Structure 1
Amino acid sequence: MLKYQFGQKIGEGTFAQVYIGACNDEQVAIKVLQKESLKTDRDKFRVNKEIELLNKVNHPNIVKMKEIVEDEESIYLITEYVSGGELFDYIVEQQRLSNGEARHVIKQLVNAIEYLHGLGIIHRDLKPENILMRDNGDICLIDFGLSMEVTRGQLLVTPCGSPCYAAPEMLEGKNYDGTKTDIWSCGVILYAMLCGYLPFDEENTQDLYDKIKLCQYTIPNSLHKDAKDLISRILTYEDQRINIEQIKVHPFFLDDNEEENINELSIEQIEQPIQDQEDLEDQIQQASFIQSQHQEEETIEYIQPILEVQNRPRGHTLKRESIMNELEVNINTIQPKNKFELPLQSKEKKNLKTIEEAFQIIQESSRQKDRKVTEEQQQSQISLAYKPAMKINTNKPYTKIKYVQTIRYRY
């Protein structure tokens, strides 16, 4: 029986906490989901779906599942440990990434998404917080809690994910193509890497949704023309948005190795007389000088004006995004014919001017209810540092999770 030792806490999500763990001198990541926090059938469905999908995928840029462990109180997802931290933190530290770094990351992200879409899997929560960095600069995609499996051509109906990365068609309450909403999120991530802030960032949720639905954003002039063109082709309306195949042949995705090959001599060139080789070397030096001048001009034109990035649109920043199980977007598009009414305790009825006001009351009531935790529940919560050895399930362990039932779910 394997025994995992818990280390420091490295992350926290809607239903879980993530810790560094160790087993036989191997570091792992342990995602702890307490069963009592899975209050609804939808929560249980999400956990089952994440476990199911992680057991299906095998890609160098997607986190690898190692074990699934459970006891009476909790479920433990044991995955590989990626030590480089979040892409989010790296962008904040660097302020923004160079074209080469951003290209390297977005290439791997697009390849991972293409792989998932080939399996019929839509991620639905792509953002820098869900992309980890390996020590060699490669990326690792995590968190499949909102992912969904679809058949070819099937549309999804539930608007979910992180608001600043949500596509316009999702916010309009339409049935949407999940492959295209994932591509939109990749475009937002590319923008964030190159600019250091988000293209859509408003304190007021209604204003945020309105700008996303209108594709209303600005691209700094300091970005390279190829980067600006690619962003504009991704962050656009669904019927105009390019697909993965078109992204992969876009000029911004061209390999940087072409510049390195300039100084390499072919066999024919090596066998030429010395005088010819000297002439060739002169040509190579001249070409290198011209290229260096071009690179210097390009640097001055596109990278030097840091002030433009620092003078970002007011209020725009790169902030952490919390997922929403279901984006509350319908209230923004529905125009009530009659006043919305809620029964009060005094058996009187109060007329509310808008559905938004009614929703705020319901939301606050729900928050107050969630805060009511009995002392018995608090005492029953486990202390991970002193947790005894855990029972390990094998042979498709995700089917043995207690208290979790497969349900019929609206896509």
Structure 2
Amino acid sequence: MEKAAHGDLLEHIKKNGSLPEGICKSMFRQLVDGLKYLHAKDVVHRDLKCENLLLDECDHLKVADFGFARVISDTKLSETFCGSAAYAPPEILQGIPYHPKSAEIWSMGVILYIMLVGMMPYDDSDVKAMIKVQLNSKVSFPEKKKLTPEVKALVHWMLEPRLDKRASLDDILASDWFNS
């Protein structure tokens, strides 16, 4: 096993604050590439969160903790609640059968938001209220954070409650943010 000398991503953000947008782009690309590989093998992690993203001595991102991971085809829906509510999309929190790969896009959107802002996009202390916010409004960014419109648009696309409108991994890679 490789050594994760810089701990997990959440620990890193708590210690150092949010990451500059350029660093976010580099690290997030590593996450996208890792998930693209897993999804091509029909593997879903089902517990993507900052705590399960480890950093080596060069701050290269490593996906860890595959305890909830499963092999699942694109056509099969899942009904199992896995992971952390704060990173889960509304369809999981509502107990609706869901597409696990699409659910992971939502979790990645939460992770990107945390990387950029240094805090959670949603208050998960009241899950019912959080679901309502997820379904009815776009996540907002603190005004003091000077972020590009392209990265904000990508986060909104990933945190889209309508499955048919939510970004895919290919959409993320083709986004204006990654190509600017």
Report the alpha carbon displacement of residue 215 of structure 1 after superposing the two structures with TM. Answer: 4.8
Task: Tell me the amino acid that sits aligned with residue 157 of structure 2.
Answer: R
The match for 2:2 among 34, 58, 80 is 80
Looking at structure 1, the residues matched to 156 and 139 of structure 2 have their Cα atoms a distance apart, in angstroms, of: 10
Shift of the 215–114 alpha-carbon distance from structure 1 to 2, 3 Å rule, reads farther
In the TM superposition, 1:83-122 aligns within 5 A as 83-122=5-44
Contact 1:247 1:253 in 2 (8 A): yes
Matched, 1:245 2:167: no
Shift of the 148–214 alpha-carbon distance from structure 1 to 2, 3 Å rule, reads farther
TM-score (norm 2): 0.91
- Residue deviations 1:223-254 (CA, integer Å, cap 9, x gap): 21111111111111212101111110112113
Q: Quote the residue 2:92 is aligned against.
A: 170
Contact 1:215 1:236 in 2 (8 A): no
The match for 2:104 among 182, 186, 194 is 182
Report the alpha carbon displacement of residue 217 of structure 1 after superposing the two structures with TM. Answer: 2.6
Corresponding residue SS for 2:121:
coil
Corresponding residue SS for 1:132:
strand
How large is the RMSD of aligned CA atoms in angstroms? Answer: 1.5
Taking only the aligned residue pairs, the percentage that are identical comes to 32
Looking at structure 2, the residues matched to 153 and 145 of structure 1 have their Cα atoms a distance apart, in angstroms, of: 22
Which structure is higher in RCO with an 8 Å CA cutoff and minimum separation 6? 2
Structure 1 portions without partners, runs of 5+: 1-78, 256-411
Q: Quote the residue 2:134 is aligned against.
A: 212
Matched, 1:125 2:47: yes
In the TM superposition, 1:315-394 aligns within 5 A as none
The match for 2:179 among 254, 262, 266 is 254
Q: How many residues align?
A: 177
Q: Quote the residue 1:223 is aligned against.
A: 147
Structure 2 portions without partners, runs of 5+: none
Matched, 1:203 2:128: no
Corresponding residue SS for 1:227:
helix
Contact 2:46 2:69 in 1 (8 A): yes
Q: Quote the residue 2:160 is aligned against.
A: 236
Looking at structure 2, the residues matched to 147 and 192 of structure 1 have their Cα atoms a distance apart, in angstroms, of: 23
Report the alpha carbon displacement of residue 126 of structure 1 after superposing the two structures with TM. Answer: 0.6
TM-score (norm 1): 0.41
Report the alpha carbon displacement of residue 219 of structure 1 after superposing the two structures with TM. Answer: 2.3
Contact 1:168 1:215 in 2 (8 A): no
Q: Quote the residue 1:148 is aligned against.
A: 70
- Residue deviations 1:55-78 (CA, integer Å, cap 9, x gap): xxxxxxxxxxxxxxxxxxxxxxxx
Looking at structure 2, the residues matched to 152 and 225 of structure 1 have their Cα atoms a distance apart, in angstroms, of: 31
Report the alpha carbon displacement of residue 205 of structure 1 after superposing the two structures with TM. Answer: 3.0
Report the alpha carbon displacement of residue 204 of structure 1 after superposing the two structures with TM. Answer: 2.3
Looking at structure 1, the residues matched to 127 and 76 of structure 2 have their Cα atoms a distance apart, in angstroms, of: 29
Task: Tell me the amino acid that sits aligned with residue 173 of structure 1.
Answer: G
Contact 2:8 2:53 in 1 (8 A): yes
Query: Comparing both structures, which one devotes a greater share of its residues to strand?
Result: 1
- Residue deviations 1:322-349 (CA, integer Å, cap 9, x gap): xxxxxxxxxxxxxxxxxxxxxxxxxxxx
| Segments of 4+ moved more than 4 angstroms | none
Task: Tell me the amino acid that sits aligned with residue 143 of structure 1.
Answer: D
Report the alpha carbon displacement of residue 216 of structure 1 after superposing the two structures with TM. Answer: 4.8
Report the alpha carbon displacement of residue 201 of structure 1 after superposing the two structures with TM. Answer: 1.4
Corresponding residue SS for 1:252:
coil
Contact 1:171 1:213 in 2 (8 A): no
Looking at structure 1, the residues matched to 30 and 135 of structure 2 have their Cα atoms a distance apart, in angstroms, of: 28
Report the alpha carbon displacement of residue 159 of structure 1 after superposing the two structures with TM. Answer: 1.9
Shift of the 163–215 alpha-carbon distance from structure 1 to 2, 3 Å rule, reads farther
Corresponding residue SS for 2:177:
helix
Contact 1:183 1:244 in 2 (8 A): yes
Matched, 1:160 2:50: no
